[in-house]
């Protein structure tokens, strides 16, 4: 029997039949794990930030696997995992409810013309304390 | 400091870490799922780091060679690893069970070493405590998943792997040649006490996995004296192949 010779010694050791060409059995539908969304906290008190997801069969395994996927570099103090199914989301076609929001500049802090009043107030306060 | 006894202990621990790190790394790219592949590879890197730190302690305090030389220039008879870490990776059930039994032993061994009279060893024990806790947590989570929460097949496979691994795992506690000196000088608590704590730990953890502790008391001994399975030398040949082309090369 001719076996597969690979550059990877682990593959060579398996003595796989080079001639064999039987097709893999088709997978049953929905045989995959669920996904869990991962939230990463850099330091105590900071927000947990969404960083991606992991495949896992249970929340415990998800947390375990998230540790290496998202906590193996840099600083981490805590991780959250949430089953993707438990995330309530808006429908993509409803994005138009936000269509006019960027126009409403009066809701932005930067849109308030109060700099001169603030400066005047600060000046008044400083004069008050030096006297 | 009793440097001969310290080197005896460190070689046993470091060689176990080095060889198991290499075995674990054989799963890299072949793990059951992407996330677990990465996690298992990271654990292999951690083990390699522990081995390197132990070789460095022996180099600094016992007059042993530099870490790379200690790791890559010895043949099988000069190695002090247990037979347990030499065994091929088998199927993932066996690799997980070995990871669980080995890391439970690592955890109790290093937890005791925090109190070691050899300060560099105690300092290293404090430094890597979190890594060891995570390794055991990783192993235990899978044991529960495949034992208590899995199906009939996963439970049977884990129990079978556990029975196969058990006599080899007991071989981890084969003492070296300076056992009494290590205990008398407060360097380590000794293999008998380590094994007792390990049995208590794995018994408790396996109960939550609904897996039975094997009753066998047979232990595969010899590794700590330089007698090894036929699996070790081929592993060393493969692991050291590149290094030995030119040991003086700067990488």
- Decide if B149 touches A, using CB distance below 8 A: yes
Given pLDDT bands bounded at 50, 70 and 90, which one contains residue A19?
Answer: confident
* Predicted confidence (pLDDT) per residue in A26-82, tens digit: 777 667 789 999 999 999 999 999 999 999 989 999 999 999 999 989 999 999 999
A11 inside domain: no
* Predicted confidence (pLDDT) per residue in B45-63, tens digit: 999 999 999 999 999 999 9
Which chain B residues are Cβ-neighbours of A54 within 8 angstroms? 35
Helices (H), chain B: 3-25, 34-61, 67-72, 83-86, 92-113, 119-127, 129-147, 152-170, 179-184, 191-208, 232-245
Cα separation, B80 vs B170, whole angstroms: 15
Is B44 in contact with B30 (CB distance < 8 Å)? no
Q: How many domains are there within chain B?
A: 1
- ipTM for the predicted complex: 0.80
CATH number (domain holding residue B55): 1.20.1260.10
Given pLDDT bands bounded at 50, 70 and 90, which one contains residue A9?
Answer: confident
B171 inside domain: yes
B250 inside domain: no
Q: How many domains are there within chain A?
A: 1
Q: Do A64 and B138 touch (CB under 8 A)?
A: yes
pLDDT computed for residue A110 by the predictor = 74
Tell me the Ramachandran region of residue B142: left when phi exceeds 0, alpha when psi lies from -120 to 50, beta otherwise.
alpha
Question: Does the structure show a pLDDT above 60 at A131?
Answer: no
Question: Does the structure show a pLDDT above 70 at A121?
Answer: yes
| Residue B160 structural domain | 3-245
- How close does chain B come to A54, measured CA to CA in Å? 7
CATH number (domain holding residue A45): 3.10.20.520
Q: Which of B26, B35, B134 sits opposite A65 (nearest CB)?
A: B35
Q: If 0-12 CB within 10 Å is exposed, 13-18 middle and 19+ buried, where does residue A25 land? A: exposed
For strands A49-56 and A34-41, give the pairing: antiparallel
Q: If 0-12 CB within 10 Å is exposed, 13-18 middle and 19+ buried, where does residue A113 land? A: exposed
Task: Provide the CA B187 distance to its chain's centre, in angstroms.
Answer: 19
pLDDT computed for residue B182 by the predictor = 97
Element (H, E) at A38: strand A34-41
For range B140-166, the mean pLDDT: 96
* Predicted confidence (pLDDT) per residue in B199-231, tens digit: 999 999 999 999 999 998 899 999 999 999 999
Q: Which residue, among B35, B148, B231, would best test binding to A if mutated, counting the most A CBs under 10 Å from its CB? A: B35
Question: Per the confidence metrics, is the pTM higher than 0.90?
Answer: no
A26 inside domain: no
């Amino acid at each position: 029997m001719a076996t597969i010779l690979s550059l990877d010694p682990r593959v060579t050791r398996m003595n796989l039949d080079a001639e064999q060409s039987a097709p893999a059995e088709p997978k049953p539908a929905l045989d995959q794990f669920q996904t869990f969304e991962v939230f990463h906290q850099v330091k105590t008190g900071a927000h947990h930030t969404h960083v991606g997801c992991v495949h896992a069969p249970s929340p415990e395994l998800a947390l375990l696997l998230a540790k290496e996927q998202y906590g193996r570099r840099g600083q981490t103090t805590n991780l959250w995992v949430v089953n993707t199914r438990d995330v309530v989301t808006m429908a993509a076609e409803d994005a138009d409810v936000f269509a006019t929001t960027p126009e409403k500049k009066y809701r932005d802090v930067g849109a308030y013309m109060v700099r001169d009043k603030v400066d005047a107030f600060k000046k008044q306060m400083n004069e008050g304390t030096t006297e | 400091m009793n440097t001969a006894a310290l080197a005896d202990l460190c070689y046993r621990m470091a060689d176990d870490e080095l060889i198991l790190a290499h075995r674990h790394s054989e799963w890299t790219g072949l793990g059951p799922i992407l996330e677990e592949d990465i996690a298992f590879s990271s654990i292999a890197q951690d083990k390699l780091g522990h081995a390197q730190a132990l070789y460095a302690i022996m180099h600094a305090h016992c007059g042993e060679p530099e870490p790379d030389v200690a790791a890559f220039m010895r043949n099988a008879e000069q190695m002090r690893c247990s037979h347990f870490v030499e065994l091929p990776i088998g199927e993932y059930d066996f690799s997980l069970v070995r990871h669980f039994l080995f890391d439970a032993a690592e955890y109790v061994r290093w937890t005791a070493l925090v109190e070691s009279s050899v300060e560099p060893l105690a300092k290293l024990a404090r430094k890597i405590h979190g890594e060891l806790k995570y390794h055991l947590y990783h192993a235990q989570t899978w044991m529960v998943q495949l034992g208590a929460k899995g199906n009939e097949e996963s439970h049977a496979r884990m129990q079978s792997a556990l029975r196969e691994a058990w006599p080899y795992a007991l071989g981890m506690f084969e003492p070296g040649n300076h056992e009494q000196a290590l205990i008398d000088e407060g360097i380590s608590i000794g293999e008998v006490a380590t094994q007792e704590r390990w049995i208590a730990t794995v018994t408790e953890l396996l109960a939550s996995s609904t897996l039975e502790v094997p009753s066998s008391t047979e232990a595969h001994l010899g590794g700590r004296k330089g007698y090894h399975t036929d699996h070790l030398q081929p592993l060393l040949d493969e692991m050291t192949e590149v290094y030995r082309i030119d040991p003086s090369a700067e990488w």
